[in-house]
Amino acid sequence: MSEFGASGGRLHVHYRLSPGPGESAERKLEDIAWEQTVEVPRELPSAAVRQSVVGRVESLRATGDGRWDGVVSYSPDLVHGDVGGLVNLLLGNLSMGTGVRVEAVDWPTETLSWFSGPNLGIAGLRRMADASRRPLLCGVAKPLGLETAELARLCGEFARGGADFVKDDHSLADQPTAPFEDRVRRCLDAVGEANARTGGRCRYFPHLPADPATLEHRLDLLDELGVEGVLVLPLVCGLGTVRHVATSRRLAVLGHPAFTGWMLGAEHGIAPGLLFGEIFRLAGCDAVIFANPGGRFGWSLADADDIVRRARRPLGPARPAFPVPAGGVAAESVPEWVTRYGLDTMLVIGGSLLCRDDLAAATAELVAVLEDSAVQSGH
């Protein structure tokens, strides 16, 4: 696997195989090469199709624990510029099998060139926040069920405390308690007023329920209101929609991990670092939210470290994205996580701050901790 995110010619996919009883690793890898491309009996394709379309088994070796590392390469022409096509080649029918985990991809320059990636990335979000060194902080307007006025008040408090961003909880859509348009207007106003008072630069990022029936209308509204970023659920709305949002508007895009969990099995699925750090990023996410270990979900430290590393690694023209630990990060544990993940991290902290009596003061304390972490790291 190239660390530089490009492999020149063919698209190499690295699989970790866990063959079942009586299953041959050789056959399993060959089956993948056929299933992800031609999906027909072996005798059917012409020599030309076999040569140019069927995946090519490049290598296979036992790893000593009953598993195998295998590599299959594919023609980049199979994808041809469509993010849905990329998802389908890497993961479509494969999802329906067992014991195959997609670990890594060596991306051909040609494939990378089709996906421009984030509009802003780490550097751009830092410019937006006017924070060149420290980890960034994103508050959360929640819970679902609060009236718009109360959500707006929380946004204002996060802004007053100096959070860089405040986002909607991902469950906020267009419910009667806080309908989309009214919520966006009032949360934006509340953050703007707080910024005017403090001289701060907090940005409000609404959740964009990216349904085609309302998408363009909502994007136009966000444009008109001057909203600079959104939260999206890439696997709910589809990665193609994420790419459309990122390329058709100059928005910052925060990708949320809802609906991804099933894919992240140890034996069957995709390495979280590849999904969040590379595929979400190629589709246009400037920041990728993941479930932090020790929070409400059981993701491993190794997976978290891999997401962090891959979100920032060079990947053709795609800018590095912020890794964003979330899902029950306690404010008091922040220094520990910053030490682990490094300064180019954005923290999403909701419940832990919202439980404090004075939200703005609690936020300001946390921002001071983040400032300290940058000073202490000697940057």
Taking CB under 8 A as the criterion, which residues in 22-81 touch a second copy?
A: 31, 35-41, 43-45, 48-49, 52-54, 77-78, 80-81
State which of residues 10, 170, 281, 310 lies at the interface with a second copy (CB under 8 A). Answer: 170
For residues 346 and 200, give the distance between their C-alpha atoms in angstroms, rounded to a whole number.
Answer: 18
**Between 130 and 213, CB nearer to a second copy:** 213
**Between 202 and 237, CB nearer to a second copy:** 237
> Is 97 a residue that touches a second copy (CB under 8 A)?
yes
Alpha helices in 120-174 (DSSP H): 121-129, 148-160
- Count of residues interacting with a second copy (CB under 8 A): 89
> Is 351 a residue that touches a second copy (CB under 8 A)?
yes
> Is 205 a residue that touches a second copy (CB under 8 A)?
no
**Between 77 and 220, CB nearer to a second copy:** 77
Here the tokens at position 222 are 């966000």
Q: What is the smallest separation between the CB atom of 292 and a second copy, expressed in angstroms?
A: 11
**Between 51 and 377, CB nearer to a second copy:** 51
Binding flags for a second copy, 287-326, as an x/- string (CB under 8 A): ----x----xxxx---------------------------
Q: What is the smallest separation between the CB atom of 177 and a second copy, expressed in angstroms?
A: 8
Judge whether 170 and 207 are in contact, CB under 8 Å. Answer: yes
State which of residues 6, 343, 354, 369 lies at the interface with a second copy (CB under 8 A). Answer: 354
**Between 132 and 175, CB nearer to a second copy:** 175
Judge whether 180 and 174 are in contact, CB under 8 Å. Answer: yes
**Residues contacting residue 73 through CB under 8 Å, at least 6 positions apart:** 10, 11, 12, 13, 55, 56, 58
For residue 278, the cross-strand partners are none
3-class secondary structure, 288: strand
> Is 244 a residue that touches a second copy (CB under 8 A)?
yes
- On the 0-12 / 13-18 / 19+ scale of CB atoms within 10 A, 192 is middle
For residues 304 and 310, give the distance between their C-alpha atoms in angstroms, rounded to a whole number.
Answer: 10
